[in-house]
A and B are shown apart, each in its own frame.
Chain A
Amino acid sequence: MSDNGSVEFGPLSLHVPEPAVRPGGTPDFSNVTFPDAGSVRRPDVDTNPEDMRDLAFSIIRVLNPEGEAVGPWANLLTDDQLVEGLRHMMTLRTFDARMQIAQRQGKTSFYMQHLGEEAVSCAFRKALVQGDMNFPTYRQAGLLIAGGYPMVEMMCQIYSNERDPLKGRQLPIMYSSKEHGFFSISGNLATQYIQGVGWAMASAIKKDSKIAAAWIGDGSTAESDFHAALVFASTYKAPVVLNIVNNQWAISTFQGIARGGSGTFAARGLGFGIPALRVDGNDYLAVFAVAQWATERARRNLGPTLVEYVTYRAGAHSTSDDPSAYRPKMESEAWPLGDPIVRLKNHLIARGAWSEERHTQTEAEILDTVIAAQKEAESFGTLHAGGKPSARDMFEGVYEQMPPHLRRQRQQAGV
């Protein structure tokens, strides 16, 4: 036997996937299939998972290019609800823009925006009720904005100031609010996915009626915790919605590195017997329709649903990132699913429920509201100026009761 292996088939080679285009090239999404709005069926929620595997390979869309809502997933929301949804997304975008500038001004260390992905968290929130719990990543602040969490609190957390509800202990935007169904963001990736499943299992163990929603990005689905979550959710039929936000980019790594040879991220659910859907993540109506379908499955004790939101991270990963180094500058404009705010706005205008004037006026109102919140938050300090959490706070809350060694260290620190 040769120690060089078989000679029968010639040498092997390693496959390393590459995105279609790099900086300097012309953006190209021709390899992605986008079905027409209204063309994907809507099975009953209690359909056998085996009989809806096709949904993992399609994209559920409601809004067509003319701004009309079409097909079996349409017509679930009233005009007022849609206007409210539009305001949520506009608020989130304005909030992001102001905080992005605040970071550049040195008022905080770090920020992560949602540009282009506003529909995902804002529309999903509408399908939840008080008591349900999200296990979010760092790009779902729409869950808080759309859930009525005060912007001033969010900003105080971002500024790590004296009113920071987290006492300056956590990086900016790693919010936590049990009351608003928003589990403490870890900052480590994928860890919260299995925790969301455990939380949902607890609700079922207690025979309660609350459900969980776990969140993950396309890149982080490669983590072992993702698979842990799917096997636990599948085994115990946990009342949880497992959300994958596929925004195409994990910092500089294109989604093909995490997806590998699998056709879609949603398809990962099929081997676990979990119904898996793909949805146009830039279509507010489609996101809500799918969220409502998946949450209803959970509430009816039918078990978990895996949902892949196909969207595009139009901005940088974070304030520490420059996407022009790894993807074509115009790729975001070329993204075939458009902008979620523009699409909902055009739909509302087509319905006769909105106008360019109202939109412009609303933009101005929202900017005023966000600036007012920002002024109030900044009156309590920013990262390097004004009020900040005390050094004493650093030692609190490691345990419910401070053990002797931490008391000694606090004394040594002189605080």
Chain B
Amino acid sequence: MPRKTMIESIRDAMDTMMERDENVVVFGEDVGFFGGVFRCTQGLQAKYGKTRCFDAPINEAGIVGAAIGMASYGLKPCVEIQFADYVYPAYDQIVSEAARLRYRSNGDFTCPMVVRMPVGGGIFGGQTHSQSPEALFTHVSGLKVVVPSNPYDAKGLLIAAIEDPDPVIFLEPKRIYNGPFDGHHDRPVTPWSKHDLGEVPDGHYTVPLGKAIKRREGSQLTILTYGTMVYVAEAAAAEHNIDAEIIDLRTLLPLDLETIIESVSKTGRCVVVHEATLTSGFGAELAALVQEHCFYKLEAPVARVAGWDTPYPHAQEWDYFPGPSRVGRALVETLEGL
């Protein structure tokens, strides 16, 4: 089976859907002729023409607002926000408009739209190229929020998102575009071409929204995580010889609560790991759900490892990033019941 990077698999998903459905259109800043700053849309304009893949003005509210109008017309826009750090001008369009259109019109108008954006740090992007704003979207009723962690899932989830009848926020962890990242920034990175999850089938397939997956079966504790942090969690558990059950949530909204409850009920211990800032982060929701549903199975407090509650710094990137040593410390503490 062909191996692809996440960039190639995301492009493949859009290519597959543009081929199958002439209503799929792709636009955003630099996505047309050039193919996007990360090259996710490379070749799509040449293949499908410039009315189906085109450059947009630098106006995120305009990109999403226009996409909402197109979606209500019957198109399936899959738009790119160049970095999640730039999505805020479009936040009103996403929150007040896309998310509520079906509800407020009682289904008279709907918004089948995907808003893709690279998220997360680890690339020395400073505060304008590193943020993880997922909690700003999971707090909004009417949205779906997806974070893939590998090329296979990225393609299957993006196809599912494009086919979904409701607006989907598709967050792409840019640090793992080219290969999994275990948090050891001083070591060479394995490219996706050397990783099993880099195997991406040709053609159409989906990974259903709302379904988590166990990346590793384990008995001692459960790690709830997603995106880049899946690999950091794997590394941390391995380095501490902890038999962790690692759950890659893949979709944050709607959440696969069943898989979480089943795992934590089994292990009795839970550590939540994400790159985003701690306070009011998605980890708070996960911790609350775990205690609501698994309280009498818990043998230790639910721990959270997250980005510090500061803006994402530049020079201090590796002090900020919740790497394997911080994650490992939380695993050990949770296991020892400290």
Contacts and interface: CB of A to CB of B under 8 A. Distances in A.
16 contacts: A169-B104, A170-B104, A176-B105, A178-B105, A184-B105, A186-B97, A195-B65, A198-B69, A200-B69, A206-B75, A212-B69, A228-B59, A228-B65, A232-B59, A235-B57, A403-B210
Interface stretch (B8-16, B107-115, B329-337): B107-115
A203 interface: yes
Contacts of B106: 165-167, 169, 176, 397
A415 B216 CA distance: 39
Q: 3 nearest interchain CB pairs?
A: A198-B69, A198-B66, A194-B65
Interface in A128-183: 133, 135, 165-167, 169-170, 174, 176-178, 183
B4 interface: no
Contacts, number: 142
B66 A197 contact: yes
B102 A188 contact: no
B109 A231 contact: no
Nearest to B289: A405
Given A201-B66, A224-B89, A400-B165, A194 B104 contact: no
A69 B66 CA distance: 39
A243 B35 CA distance: 35
A229 interface: yes
A398 interface: yes
A198 B104 contact: no
Given A166-B106, A405-B254, A405-B257, A399 B75 contact: no
A193 to B, nearest CB: 8
A194 B69 contact: yes
A167 B89 CA distance: 31
Contacts of B66: 194-195, 197-198, 201, 232
Interface in A191-227: 191-206, 212, 224-225, 227
A404 interface: yes
B103 interface: yes
Nearest to A402: B254
Interface size class of A (residues with CB under 8 A): 35 or more
B65 to A, nearest CB: 3
Contacts of B96: 186, 188, 191
Nearest to B22: A206
A403 B254 contact: yes
A405 B255 contact: yes
Interface of A: 133, 135, 165-167, 169-170, 174, 176-178, 183-184, 186, 188, 191-206, 212, 224-225, 227-229, 231-232, 235, 397-400, 403-405
A399 B105 contact: no
Interface residues of B, number: 45
Given A202-B74, A405-B257, A398 B102 contact: yes
Contacts of A177: 108
B93 interface: yes
B238 to A, nearest CB: 33
Contacts of A174: 104
A192 B67 CA distance: 12
B73 interface: yes
A193 B93 CA distance: 11
Contacts of B72: 183, 195, 199
B142 A398 contact: yes
B114 to A, nearest CB: 15
Contacts of A169: 103-104, 106
A235 B144 CA distance: 31
Given A176-B105, A228-B65, A202 B257 contact: no
Residue of A165, A198, A400 ringed by the most chain B CB atoms within 10 A: A198
Contacts of A398: 102-103, 141-142
A231 B102 CA distance: 27
A166 B74 CA distance: 21
Contacts of B110: 400
A194 B62 contact: yes
Residue of A166, A197, A205, A399 ringed by the most chain B CB atoms within 10 A: A399
A231 B62 contact: yes
A337 B217 CA distance: 77
Given A178-B108, A184-B109, A404-B257, A201 B69 contact: yes
A18 B262 CA distance: 65
Contacts of A186: 96-97, 100, 104
B92 interface: yes
A177 B65 CA distance: 20
A400 B25 CA distance: 22
A398 B253 CA distance: 13
Interface in B128-158: 141-142, 144
B70 interface: yes
Nearest to B59: A228
A348 B103 CA distance: 44
B68 interface: yes
A47 to B, nearest CB: 26
Contact of A399 (B52, B92, B102): B102
A284 to B, nearest CB: 29
Residue of A195, A212, A403 ringed by the most chain B CB atoms within 10 A: A195
Nearest to B62: A228
B193 interface: no
A213 to B, nearest CB: 12
B166 interface: yes
